[in-house]
């Protein structure tokens, strides 16, 4: 582990880990997707990167959860594979969410953020139910680590380095 790895979210593979091909790394990252996760990883060619990981804020199953949580900001992880250096360069970008009639609309934030972000948003709400007793209506926790950690493990398991980029190009 190098000095600034902690600050940049950089994770390195254990010594002796077999280095896999770029396609195998891409496949390993995409295998992190699962229907029950509040995030998804998809192709990012239209954005000039290899993959994008983002909250499922526009997914019909999840947007009600995000709306009830009052989530105002979400972020995406842009991933670019560098086959020469055997590293996946990752940059975080934050977006503002506007809710219109319970439906989310993503818009770029006026205040730009680019770099590496570690955040946790959580909350709970109680209300009176049909039994006239207060009960927990919902509880949520959204952590950037919930999205980053499985991706980092997939990358390092392939013998590659997950390199967080705070400044510079992906």
Residue 142 domain-assigned (yes or no): yes
pLDDT of residue 153: 96
pLDDT at 145: 76
pLDDT of residue 69: 59
Query: Cα(170)–Cα(168) distance, rounded to whole angstroms?
Result: 7
Tell me, yes or no, whether 123 lies in a domain: yes
Query: Per the structure, how many domains does the chain have?
Result: 1
| pLDDT for the residue numbered 84 | 96
Is residue 86 one of the residues assigned to a domain?
A: yes
Give the C-alpha separation, 141 to 97, whole Å: 17
- pLDDT averaged over consecutive 10-residue blocks of the chain (170 residues)? 70 94 97 87 94 74 59 78 96 70 48 50 56 62 77 97 81
The answer to whether residue 37 sits within a structural domain is yes
Inside any domain, residue 170: no
Q: Domain limits at 18?
A: 5-164
Q: In sequence order, what DSSP letters do the residues of 60-79 get, joined into one string? A: HHHHHHHHHTT--EEEEEEE
Q: Specify if 169 maps to a domain.
A: no
Residue 93 within any structural domain of the chain: yes
pTM of structure: 0.71
User: What pairing do the DSSP bridges indicate for beta strands 51-55 and 120-128?
Assistant: unpaired
Q: Considering the domain boundaries, does residue 43 fall inside one?
A: yes
């Amino acid at each position: 582990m190098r000095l600034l790895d902690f600050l940049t979210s950089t994770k390195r593979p254990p010594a002796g880990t077999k280095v896999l091909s770029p396609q195998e790394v891409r496949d390993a990252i995409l295998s992190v997707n699962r229907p029950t996760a509040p995030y998804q990883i998809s192709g990012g060619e239209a954005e000039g990167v290899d993959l994008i990981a983002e909250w499922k804020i526009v997914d019909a199953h999840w947007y009600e959860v995000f709306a009830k949580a009052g989530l105002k900001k979400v972020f995406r992880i842009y991933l670019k594979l560098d086959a020469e250096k055997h590293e996946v360069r990752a940059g975080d970008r934050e977006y503002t969410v506007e809710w219109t009639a319970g439906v989310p609309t993503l818009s770029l934030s006026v205040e730009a953020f680019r770099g590496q972000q570690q955040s946790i948003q959580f909350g709970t709400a109680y209300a009176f139910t049909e039994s006239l007793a207060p009960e927990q209506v919902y509880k949520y926790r959204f952590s950037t680590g919930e999205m980053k950690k499985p991706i980092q493990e997939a990358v390092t398991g392939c013998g590659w380095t997950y390199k967080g980029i705070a400044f510079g190009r992906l």
